[in-house]
Amino acid sequence: MKNEGAQGPVQEDPKHYYDYLRQQREIAESLKYASYIQQALYPTESLIARLIPEYFIFFRPREMVSGDFYYVSGHGDNIFIAVGDCTGHGVPGAFMSLLGITFLNEIISRGNFYGAASVLNNMREHVMKALSQTGEESEQKDGIDLAVCILDIRKNKLDFAGAFNPLYMIRNNRLIEVEGDKMPVGIGAEEEKPFTGHSLDLEDNDMLYLFTDGFVDQFGGSNGKKYKYKSFRELLISVSELPMQEQKNRIQGTFEAWKGNQRQLDDVLVCGFRYRFAKPAMI
């Protein structure tokens, strides 16, 4: 074992080398299988399309499994959309994302909440409980940055709450930003306070964007700088009128171009939804 180090086992020791290769293969297979499981937890395209026919999801995990996740479900007149970014990426992030999706499912299916803020409050309790967080200094501060939207298709209202993550809404080429609270879903430095709920009236053709910070924090471009929120907002405004697939292609293209040969820093997730007034028969 003495040869093992940052470079891995030296090739001169065939036994160790083969073991190393076998382990690598096994890990890769495990991760591949784990990624299938993770994908199975995401809402299917047909479910999302049934609830919101015009949408796109640009999801680019950094590794085979991801700490970013998205969630869409429908209950009565309400459509729930959430986009989350768990602490870390790769396997630890993926574990957290599994917890996040499970908790969201549980909270929303139970239905005992008063709005998006209440969902986040509940989520925080679940995460704190699951990770046994009590505010001790020594404990893990893992959490989830999460944005939750509840669309009321009968009243054409949107209820939003965010844990760090904001909501961008583009109406007539004008971007409206709804900021999230500066606290995570999980234990924070300060005593828990309730998340803030934001209620907005929706108009036909409004574009809603929920995203994680993977895109804006990506280094790239000619100077190797972060992409930043300002550029990201401009990008979204520029594509907001386009059909969904076209928007996704432009965003993906922009990301690839920006990243260039740089290493992807974090998982990237951008979700866009075009809100249309429901036809009377559908309500």
Q: Which of residues 81, 127, 169, 251 is near other proteins by CB under 8 A?
A: 127
Does residue 102 bind other proteins (CB under 8 A)?
Answer: no
- Among positions 142-171, residues that touch other proteins (CB under 8 A) are none
Q: Least distance in Å: CB of 178 to other proteins?
A: 18
Q: Which tokens hold the place of 9?
A: 């086992």
**Is residue 190 within 8 Å of residue 157, measured between CB atoms?**
no
Does residue 124 bind other proteins (CB under 8 A)?
Answer: yes
Q: Which of residues 25, 129, 154, 182 is near other proteins by CB under 8 A?
A: 129
Q: Which of residues 121, 165, 212, 247 is near other proteins by CB under 8 A?
A: 121
**Is residue 79 within 8 Å of residue 97, measured between CB atoms?**
no
Q: Least distance in Å: CB of 189 to other proteins?
A: 11
Whose CA is closest to 70, among 263, 262, 236, 271?
Answer: 271
Q: Which of residues 8, 135, 243, 260 is near other proteins by CB under 8 A?
A: 135
Q: Decide: residue 146, CB within 10 A, 0-12 exposed, 13-18 middle, 19+ buried.
A: buried
Q: Least distance in Å: CB of 148 to other proteins?
A: 16
Does residue 126 bind other proteins (CB under 8 A)?
Answer: yes
Q: Least distance in Å: CB of 210 to other proteins?
A: 24
Q: Least distance in Å: CB of 199 to other proteins?
A: 13
# residues near other proteins by CB under 8 A: 21
Q: Which of residues 114, 199, 203, 245 is near other proteins by CB under 8 A?
A: 114
Q: Which of residues 86, 151, 187, 207 is near other proteins by CB under 8 A?
A: 187
Using the rule CB under 8 A, give the single segment among 10-18, 38-46, 72-80, 125-133 that binds other proteins: 125-133
- Residues within the interface to other proteins (CB under 8 A): 114, 118, 121-122, 124-135, 187, 191-194
